[in-house]
Structure 1
Amino acid sequence: MQRPDTMSNAPKNKRPTKRWTPARIGIYLFLISAAAFFLLPLYVMLVTSFKTLDDIRESSIFSLPATLTLEPWAIAWTSACTGLECTGLKVGFWNSVRIVIPSVILSILLGAINGYALAFWRSKYANLLFGVLMIGVFVPYQVIMYPLVRLLSTVGLFGSLPAIVVIHSIFGMPVMTLLFRNYYAGLPEELFKAARIDGGGFWRIFIELMLPMSTPILIVATIMQVTGIWNDYLLGLIFGGTELAPMTVQLNNIVNSTTGERAYNVNMAATILTSAIPLFIYLASGRWFVRGIASGAVKG
């Protein structure tokens, strides 16, 4: 009789080798092309922002800087002309911060309260109210821009910080309501009923039960609102005025300046500085955004 260790010489299971099928090759080619489509402009902006003007004139837009310089970044931040004043983007940066923080907090808070009420405290006209809010998602800004300007001018708020915060909160509320309503609709209703039996009211259930369970959707809502409000140009231009012009408006003024020689290196540096905050947020919290969406943001 053969010994157990020599009875079988069958080959061990091997991991299947990946075959380069036409479909797999096509997928990789598409992914590489898509990555190049989005990364190539970023590469051009980066290398141009570190070049001198002489280097830009004498070299290709894809070539690396012959002389590395940080002067365009310093000019873009501190002394680039954004109209009659040459104070750079730093003023617009702090204007954007002052606009974004209260606008994000207010729009998310209103959306969370509306979504919670529509998901659990269903009144007779709850579906009608939800439909009206959803219509607001598809209304173009331009349709109601003039009435809003007239309204804010009448009450004396036009061109002020409260005005632009209220405008961003109003336009953000329908989308935030949709996100939170769908998220809360996916939660077990037994939790809400148990809280009601224990004597919880509207605000107590919302603050002590719903908000602690809303971390995933709060992250999604924050990312959407911060990037959306930070990147806004039209509302900031109209309702912010000259004193509260956000970073995007000042970037447009720098790029479209017609005085003297066009400084492409300063323009590229200013563009990267303006987009740095949304880009950092997406890179730092992208996986949380996907988790929040997957955990119920599009359910219901």
Structure 2
Amino acid sequence: MNRLNFHRFILWSMLLLFAAWFLVPLYVMLSTSLKDAEQLRTGNLLSLPTAPTLDAWFKAWGSACTGVQCEGLKPFFWNSVLLVVPAVLLSTLLGSLNGYVLSKWKFRGSETLFAFMLFGVFMPMQVVLLPMSQVLGWLGVSSSIWGLMLVHVVAGIPSTTLFFRNYYIGLPDELIKAAQLDGAGFWLIFRRIVMPLSLPILVVTLIWQFTNIWNDFLYGVVFSGADSKPITVGLNNLANTSSAVKEYNVDMAAALIAALPTLFVYVVAGKYFVRGLTAGAVKG
């Protein structure tokens, strides 16, 4: 019994150590963002704010300089919202259709097509920068929110297809065959049978795509224009804008503002993400 308790003590000690390793930077960011300039000069990174204030948050949101403009992160935040919502929904919808076809409506060469699509999962993002820029120019959507949205939809299709295809393989083929015998077609089966059974993998894919697109910097800085930059680019510009006195509290507040949506998603839906993965998202 004593040996069991000792093992538990070691296990909990290691878990708490790793938790502290990841949470201390978050604590430093939060506490620094609540301090004023005087506290930053007289205190240290780990000290608690003696007189918490949200001035740094308000400045980071609405008046901090991000280059030549001093409008804070607000325009960049709404650019990201306008970009992320349709990009996540479209890439998830297309991935579910692809996974449905490649698992339940197989055709000659479908496995080869799926193998080629997997290249997109492991292909470095830098490889597509030049050809994608040319395509966006031909389509007339370069340096715009819609062009950046198209890039993320195309880049996300391989991953979403992989998730849905591997999940749908676990669904009984008898469901599809029984529906076909009842006269149901491709779209009716997908809408009335497959999609209602797809909630676990749907949550996984939505969270995965939301996180990837919201946190993306490379595509955002390459394919966006002056009025369509996402929040990651705005955060980079804010942190690199020189001033007489470096305002670390504003930088920390800005970083937290940029991270809040993804933190919120994982806090609210994190357990569903894990359940979805264990339900079959990485099988097959």
Q: State the TM-score, normalized to the length of structure 1.
A: 0.92
Confirm or deny that 1:204 pairs with 2:188: yes
Give 1:18 deviation, angstroms: 7.6
Distance in 2 of aligned mates of 1:18 and 1:53: 51
Confirm or deny that 1:105 pairs with 2:69: no
Give 1:260 deviation, angstroms: 2.2
Confirm or deny that 1:242 pairs with 2:226: yes
DSSP-derived class of the 2:142 partner: coil
Q: Which range is displaced more, 115-124 or 284-293?
A: 284-293
Give 1:147 deviation, angstroms: 1.2
* 1:296 counterpart residue number: 280
More helix by share: 2
* 1:10 counterpart residue number: none
Distance in 2 of aligned mates of 1:62 and 1:36: 13
* 2:172 counterpart residue number: 188
Confirm or deny that 1:20 pairs with 2:5: yes
Distance in 2 of aligned mates of 1:139 and 1:19: 46
Q: Which letter does structure 2 place at the counterpart of 1:172?
A: G
Distance in 1 of aligned mates of 2:146 and 2:53: 40
Confirm or deny that 1:168 pairs with 2:161: no
Q: Which letter does structure 1 place at the counterpart of 2:124?
A: P
What CA deviation, in whole Å up to 9, does each residue of 1:62-96 have, x standing for no partner? Answer: 01112221110100011011111111111111100
* Unaligned runs of at least 5 residues, structure 1: 1-15
* 1:139 counterpart residue number: 123
* Unaligned runs of at least 5 residues, structure 2: none
Distance in 1 of aligned mates of 2:174 and 2:159: 26
Q: Which letter does structure 2 place at the counterpart of 1:90?
A: K
Q: Which letter does structure 2 place at the counterpart of 1:26?
A: I
Q: Which letter does structure 1 place at the counterpart of 2:59?
A: I
DSSP-derived class of the 2:45 partner: coil
What CA deviation, in whole Å up to 9, does each residue of 1:242-288 have, x standing for no partner? Answer: 11111111011111111321100000000001000000100111111
DSSP-derived class of the 1:20 partner: helix
Q: Which range is displaced more, 96-105 or 286-295?
A: 286-295
Distance in 2 of aligned mates of 1:34 and 1:208: 45
Q: Which letter does structure 2 place at the counterpart of 1:132?
A: F
Identity of aligned residues (%): 46
Confirm or deny that 1:86 pairs with 2:70: yes
Give 1:294 deviation, angstroms: 1.6
Distance in 2 of aligned mates of 1:192 and 1:117: 12
Q: Which letter does structure 1 place at the counterpart of 2:5?
A: W
Q: Which range is displaced more, 249-258 or 195-204?
A: 195-204
DSSP-derived class of the 1:123 partner: coil
What CA deviation, in whole Å up to 9, does each residue of 1:119-139 have, x standing for no partner? Answer: 011101000000011111011
Bigger Cα Rg = 1
DSSP-derived class of the 1:157 partner: coil
* 2:236 counterpart residue number: 252
Distance in 2 of aligned mates of 1:154 and 1:214: 36
**2:79/2:145 contact within 8 Å kept:** no
Q: Which letter does structure 2 place at the counterpart of 1:269?
A: A
Q: Which range is displaced more, 137-146 or 23-32?
A: 23-32
* 1:272 counterpart residue number: 256
Q: Which range is displaced more, 257-266 or 118-127?
A: 257-266
* 2:134 counterpart residue number: 150
Distance in 1 of aligned mates of 2:121 and 2:46: 41
Give 1:239 deviation, angstroms: 1.1
What CA deviation, in whole Å up to 9, does each residue of 1:101-134 have, x standing for no partner? Answer: 1100110011000000000111010000000111
Q: Which letter does structure 1 place at the counterpart of 2:129?
A: M
Let me know the Cα RMSD of the aligned residues. 1.3
| Aligned equivalent of 1:121, options 95, 102, 105 | 105
* 1:11 counterpart residue number: none
Distance in 2 of aligned mates of 1:112 and 1:223: 14
